[in-house]
Amino acid sequence: MEPRPREHQLPGAASASGAAATPPPAREPTHAERVRTLVHRERRGALSTVAADPAGYPFGSVVSFGLTDDGDPLVFVSLMAEHTQNALRDPRASLLVTEPVPDGADPLASGRVTLLGLLAPIEDDRARDVARARYLEANPAASYYIDFGDFTFLRLTVDHVRYVGGYGRMSWVDPTEYRTATPDPLVDTAAGIIEHMNADHADAQVLLCRHFAGLARTQSATMSAVDRYGFDLVAVSDGNRTAVRLAFPEECATGDEVRRAMVAMVAEARAVSA
């Protein structure tokens, strides 16, 4: 059997892109940091449990969740729910969490993570109080049913993490690294930055790909992610798609710092191409 490939093998990618040279790799968050950022930002995921009936089948359902300090998901579920009864019989479970997909973007270019572990009730009163606070912080609308007597808190104690960040970016993340990683400081502003860049600065993104990535024949480019170190684009040239990672001149912790960095990078690219 052929070994599992480590990256996608694109047909004629180098010649089709028109790249003059391969740029050095741009700094980017670790996969553990990417995963913590993703699950910190999202509030809903697909929970999979082992079905009791029909026995042994994976059973998927949608749940809202909060997080513990070390990244374990907390769900508040009804005892009547199928996934709750499944977990009480067999605690093995997983939670799939996905990034939002910008309008018109390729869904497979966005990130997703599967957290695997044991899903069990929270028995300690103090731990339940913490879970309640964290869950309501993440899901304020849950105040309507937070005191229903047939509901209970379950904690998914994560012991395996599988991350897919788009084309060619994937790995099993060490659970200890996941637990100690921190969300990116742009986590609450990234979606707005991406939307703004794709809606109002499409031409600038093409220019950035041509200058900084050496993709001289880029015809269009869509931003798919942004973080403190830089941003990701999908560049299209002659029908071929190329994942592009570009670094900011310095780390950016706020949206205003990102704006200034982007202005400087576009100015440099325009000066060279003039």
pLDDT tens string 153-204 = 999 999 999 999 877 789 999 999 999 999 999 999 998 999 999 999 999 9
CATH class, range 31-180: mainly beta
Residue 6 binned pLDDT confidence (cut-offs 50, 70, 90): low
Enter the tokens of residue 202.
Answer: 């499409």
35/13 Cα distance (integer angstroms): 28
Look up residue 217 and give its DSSP letter.
Answer: T
Enter the tokens of residue 264.
Answer: 């400087």
145/218 Cα distance (integer angstroms): 51
Could you report the per-residue pLDDT of 17-54, keeping only the tens digit for each?
444 445 567 888 999 999 999 999 999 999 999 999 99
Flag whether pLDDT at 13 surpasses 50. no
CATH node for 13-28+187-273: 3.20.180.10
Enter the tokens of residue 259.
Answer: 């704006």
In the chain, which segments carry CATH 2.30.110.10?
Answer: 31-180
According to the model, what pLDDT value does residue 3 have? Answer: 65
CB within 8 Å of 25: residues ≥ 6 apart: 245
- Identify the residue with better confidence: 21 or 246: 246
